[in-house]
Structure 1
Amino acid sequence: MTGATERDPLLQSVPQSTANGLSAEAHEKQGPGPRDISKSTRYGILAGIWAATFLSSLNTTLVATLLPGISSDFQKSQQASWLGTAYLLATCTFTPLYGRLCNVLGRRGANQTAVLFAALGTAACGFSTNMETLIAARFLAGIGGGGIFTTATIITSDMYSLRSRGLTQGVAAVFNSAGMGLGGPLGGWIADQYGWRWAFLIQLPLFVVSFFLTSINLKYVTPGKGKSTKEVLKRIDYGGSLTLMGTVLSFLIFLSTRFGEEYPWSHVYVYLPFALSFVFLIAFILVELFIAPEPVLAPFLLRKKIPVLVGVSNFLVATCNFTIMYNYPTWFQTVLLTSASKAGAHLIPNGVSISMGSLFAGWIMHKTGRYKTLNLVFGVFPFISTLLIVTMKETSHPIQQWLAILPLGFGNAIVLQTMLIALLAHLPSSAMAVGTGFGQLFRGVGQVGGVAISSAIFQSILNTELHRRIQDENAEEIISKIRHSATLVAKLPPDLQRHARDSYAIALRAVFIMASVATFLAYLARLPIPDKSLDSGKPAVEGPPLPEPPLETTAPINPLEETEPDEEENNEDDSGHPSEEEDVVPTRPPMLVKRTRRLSTYESADGTLDLESGGSARPKSYLSTLSGRSR
């Protein structure tokens, strides 16, 4: 028998579920934890969630090249812009809800709910018989599309340590960027070959594959107890989701009527949605602060510096990305007079650079265990890219026209990856799902804002420039046609065409300047975020269950929780001084917290409700107060 050596650990590793307080018998009966599963099972889960991620990203940019065919079929080109806006609106509204659903329905339940909504919406798009039905179907698909990304991020975080997550999320971002980059060109090619409906219908088999892979593989469990369906449904933040949707939708209608249709401020279609947007915003804040039992926008995260800074950065980065993505092809189509397919092809370098940036960021973080230097150096790239785009002219070299967008995708991919890891590194593991949804909320609002605000600026300046240049007797009719059809510019007489090209160039330059300002402000917002070693991101499988804390402990240690020492316990920075950001919300001792309000403790023996321990969006002190009232 071989004796122990000085290299052997003093405490032998135990399975994750056993370290978390489950007996070996319970572990064997209920199933493995997220880091106990086999490699084949883990890869099966990743294949399932990444297939859905690809489709979700594909649908974000798919309709850009389908609009001419859809408009000619339904003869309602004035409503065509809502096909993109409806999808982004649903994504923005329902994305943060999935952070809660992961703790309520379980990882598999939440992910498959998102996939089901996305698949049904996509199928409805393919079979739509009018524009109104198609817009509603796009909204339905967006409900699932946003949730797919959030649930995929949370599932990946379950299965990998903090340091390994960067590399894994980098690979995941390849599927995300591939979907965004291929959406326009692939949609246009399918529409030309088979018709625009097949651009939606051809996705359905891949949704089925995703659902099947998660059904047979996503069965890991974490400690907790299940609750009835009635109790689960009562905890969902319906009020927060509806008021958030009302806020964003009202503001979108205001932008469309005031700047798209040029209605005066005195028109009811302008001031009414503008006023309603503020009413819904106030209602959303009140619901989140005082009413919702488990708010989609966790109030305690708004009091923490790093989550707020990450949220601001996500909003501005998404605004920049979608401002460029939805307006860059228009520049080539209206200023250089290229075809729609060639104009859309100029987005392909962006998709490639996003993939490269995501993989690079993940690899560097995995090797170094750090993220701040990476962010500071490559976070400047998007600003440089926007300056190159702003200075583009008709006479610019083709290298600038094709490659100016490369630094944008590469830099912002690195920024989004590092900000996700920074957010998770400064939150306790019990708040992982809520924190992920929190970050995605700001990113979703930024996506809608990038499209809607840039469109309002573009239409307003374009209208002004066209009126300044065109003053014929039929000027209003000509200007209206030019504003609402980019393809018309190439067909105009030479004199009118020159006026239109110059007007489009000036309007688009203003939009690109807006994107440049957004990415610069995002860089400033990230500067105060401190660095933190990612070496602490290890599964808690190397020791016995942690003891119960004394009464004066501010952060209760639940023996059922999977703890990662530096994520939850180490409140010092690398210099040895106390960190400015306290990672744990002060609470009463654990025995004073009423367990029925902690959403993430649901679980079933067969793994269908596979949830992490902890993670309520309300601070535990708040829950303790409610617990005392109930007595």
Structure 2
Amino acid sequence: MSTSTASESSPLLADTHLKPSKDAETRQLGPLEIPKATRYSILLGVWTATFLSSANMTLVPTMLPSISSEFQKSHQASWLGTAYLLATCTFTPLYGRLSDVMGRKGAAQAAVLFGGLGTIACGLSTNMEMLIASRFLAGIGGGGISTMAAIIVSDMYSLRSRGLAQGVASVFNGLGFGVGGPLGGLITDCSSTNAQVGLENGIFGSSAAVPFINLLISVNLLISVNLNYVTPGKGKSTVEVLKRIDYLGSTTLLITVASTLIFLSTRYNEGLPWTHVTVIIPLILSVAFFILFILVEVFVAREPILAPFLLKQKVPVLVGISNFLVSSCNFAMSYYFPMWFQTVMLTNAAIAGLHSLPSSVAMPVGSVFAGWMMHRTGKYKMINLTFGILPFIAGILIAQIREDSGPIQAWFSITPIGFGNAVVMQTTLVALLAHIQESQMAVATGFARLFGSVGQVAGVAVSSALFQFVLEGELRKRIHGPDSEEMIKRIRQNTRLVETLPVDQQRMARDSYDVSLKVVFWFAALSTLLAYIVRLPIPEKDLERTAEESGQDQISQQRIPGLEDSERRR
């Protein structure tokens, strides 16, 4: 048996798939047999979908203050983010299972369809309730798109090359994040010139949905025509597929997370007392259904979305906790960093969105760098430890930002978060895949995405609760008088009101927002520090594994009969 080694002359995305054998023409090919042109067409399809999903996700943060202000519901603004993330966290782990029983094509098409329909519905929404429901629908597809992209890349590349391939994928992800924020701000600034027309024609306007529909059709065509390789475990009938879905686990998880979000919203965003029925009941439900979710996953579900066998292994658990904390940091910053510039510096939405651009640019750079380093060295731990501390440093810098801070701190202090956390996410995914059998790859990817998705929800929901709780207290310290309660309520419900206030009241409101948002920034910094500590025990493992170590022999025999020794070339 021989193993290949990487050198400086090796191609970055090595051709690790198997060349088709003569009998391949008469049967469906496995992911390692497909021609290079087909493989690149598949990647173009799934990565374009990733770009659209990322842009969709980051449109909202910069539009969030203005949209919610139009409806006089800024204190409920976090639901525009948490509705999307609630769906993502509930349905994302299903795609790992669905991709095994439905095939990669069916699961990918379902994700693109839900994401597209949800985004179009967002564009046509005319009230807060419709927009929140549309964001939930979009989240069902958004989480699936990112999960399926990771699974498909892992199918078509060897373990050592996966990190680099995922790094290239992050370029599309980063482009989406980079475009979404400024685009959302631009749409907000344009629509604010005629708010009533904007509401009548939908938040984004129906014309904005046209190019998205065209891209959606193109992505579906690329996936439908090219994503036809064979993987083991695909269901033979629709009935078999439906039987293998963990409905009870998904439902209990959905109720658990939704109840937690309602509790945080009513207690801290609405400011209701602990004894209020809409506070205590969601809290009780969240605890009860969390316990029920665990019992279902361990004792009832035929193919549980949580994959309890992974909870018995150290590396998957550590990777999952790290993903949770890193995602909390990322989403707390992405939702509230632009708000600081809108409410404290009084910049317009487009400029506020541009302040997140350096992080969005650094993200794909960090992913490609991590992938290239792992491809070149076959190691991941030292890269993780070296660059994984950068987000914590960035969090401290952001928490120290002031109105008179220079342009370097205002524009580039967020950059290490994008770069460092991108390195972390790439290296931890490869670390996870290096410690499991190849046959468990899709389920493990969904497992890791589940923790990350819950972290996204926590990042937005917890930071929103902290922000609103502190904001109310800070406003009460500064604003007094017979109409103080009404003024505090108006400032909390309409962030755009700040710039229209008299100079003295505006100063008090800006200072209150400044203190409240700094609490969120410290929360994000603490999350990423804890994530760094959690990753310390993850052991190093040589990525140049043999087929026997990864269990690939057995999978190759199931997937590509007659080529059982082919994977030993890795």
TM-score, normalising length: structure 1: 0.81
Aligned partners of 2:349, 2:499: CA distance in 1, in Å? 11
Q: Which residue is 1:425 aligned to?
A: 434
Q: Which amino acid aligns with 1:481?
A: R
Distance 1:72 1:428 in 2: 50
Structure 2 gap ranges (5+): 5-15, 192-197, 199-203
Q: Is residue 101 from structure 1 mapped to residue 98 from structure 2 by the alignment? A: yes
Q: Deviations over 1:458-506 (max 9, x none)?
A: 1111111111111111111111111222222222222212222222121
- 1:560-581: CA deviation from partner (whole Å, max 9, x where unpaired): 268999x99x9xxxxxxxxxxx
Task: Give 1:54-453 correspondences, 5 Å limit.
Answer: 54-67=51-64, 70-71=67-68, 79-192=76-189, 196-197=204-205, 198-223=207-232, 226-453=235-462
Which residue of structure 1 aligns with residue 7 of structure 2?
A: none
Amino acid at match of 2:37: S
Note if contact 1:537-1:564 (Cα within 8 Å) is conserved in structure 2.
no
Q: Which runs of 5+ in 1 are unaligned?
A: 1-6, 8-13, 547-555, 571-631
Distance 1:557 1:153 in 2: 19
In 2, the alpha carbon distance for the partners of 1:220 and 1:557 equals: 14
Q: Is the 1:17–1:223 contact (alpha carbons within 8 Å) kept by the matching residues of 2?
A: no
Any residues of structure 2 matched to 1:425-574 within 5 Å, and which?
A: 425-536=434-545, 559-560=557-558
Q: 1: CA distance between counterparts of 2:384 and 2:274?
A: 43
- SS of the equivalent of 1:410 reads helix
Aligned equivalents of 1:251 and 1:17: distance in 2? 51
Answer whether contact 2:75 2:269 (CA < 8 A) is retained: no
Contact 1:323 1:450 in 2 (8 A): yes
Q: Deviations over 1:230-275 (max 9, x none)?
A: 1221110011111111011001011111000100011101001111
Q: State the AA in 2 paired with 1:327.
A: Y
Mark the structure with the bigger radius of gyration: 1
Decide whether the 8 Å contact of 1:115 with 1:207 is kept in 2: yes
> Which amino acid counterpart does residue 558 of structure 2 have in structure 1?
L
Instruction: String of CA shifts for 1:274-328, please: whole Å, max 9, x gaps.
Output: 1111111011111101111000000000000000000000000000111111111
CA RMSD after TM alignment: 2.7
- Counterparts in 2 of 1:73 and 1:465: CA distance versus 1, 3 Å: closer
**Structure 1 residues 460 and 338: alpha-carbon distance in aligned structure 2, compared to 1, 3 A threshold:** same
Q: Distance in 2 between matches of 1:527 and 1:72?
A: 43
How many residues are treated as equivalent by the alignment?
539
Q: What's 2:8 paired with?
A: none
Q: What does residue 46 of structure 1 align with?
A: 43
One-letter amino acid of the structure 1 residue matched with residue 433 of structure 2: L
- 3-state secondary structure, aligned to 2:125: coil
Given that residues 150 and 437 in structure 1 are in contact (C-alpha distance below 8 angstroms), is that contact kept between their aligned partners in structure 2? Answer: yes
- SS at structure 1 position matched to 2:328: helix
Give the aligned partner of residue 619 of structure 1: none
Equivalent residue of 2:268, what SS?
helix
Change (3 A) 1:115 1:558: closer
Corresponding residue for residue 13 of structure 2 = none
CA distance in 2: counterparts of 1:385 and 1:537, whole angstroms: 39
- Conserved? CA contact 2:30–2:559, under 8 Å: no
Q: Residue 249 of structure 1 aligns to which amino acid in structure 2?
A: A
Quote the offset at 1:116 in angstroms. Answer: 0.9
Counterpart CA distance in 1 for 2:492 and 2:115 is: 32
3-state SS in 2 of match to 1:108: helix
Contact 1:60 1:88 in 2 (8 A): no
User: Whole-Å Cα distance in 1 between the matches of residues 467 and 75 of structure 2?
Assistant: 16
1:127 is matched by which residue type in structure 2? L
CA-CA distance at 1:539 after TM superposition: 11
Q: SS of the residue aligned with 2:477?
A: helix
Provide the rounded CA distance (Å) in 2 between the counterparts of 1:558 and 1:175: 31
Shift of 1:398: 1.7
CA contact (8 A) 2:101 2:233 kept: no
Shift in alpha-carbon separation, 1:381–1:211, aligned structure 2, 3 A: same
Measured after TM superposition, the shift of residue 342 of structure 1 is 1.4
User: Higher helix share goes to which structure?
Assistant: 2
Aligned partners of 1:412, 1:15: CA distance in 2, in Å? Answer: 29
**TM-score normalised to structure 2 length:** 0.89
Which amino acid is 2:228 matched to? Answer: K
2:19 touches 2:34 (CA, 8 Å); kept in 1?
no
1:198-222 deviations in Å (ceiling 9; x for gaps): 4444322111111000111111113
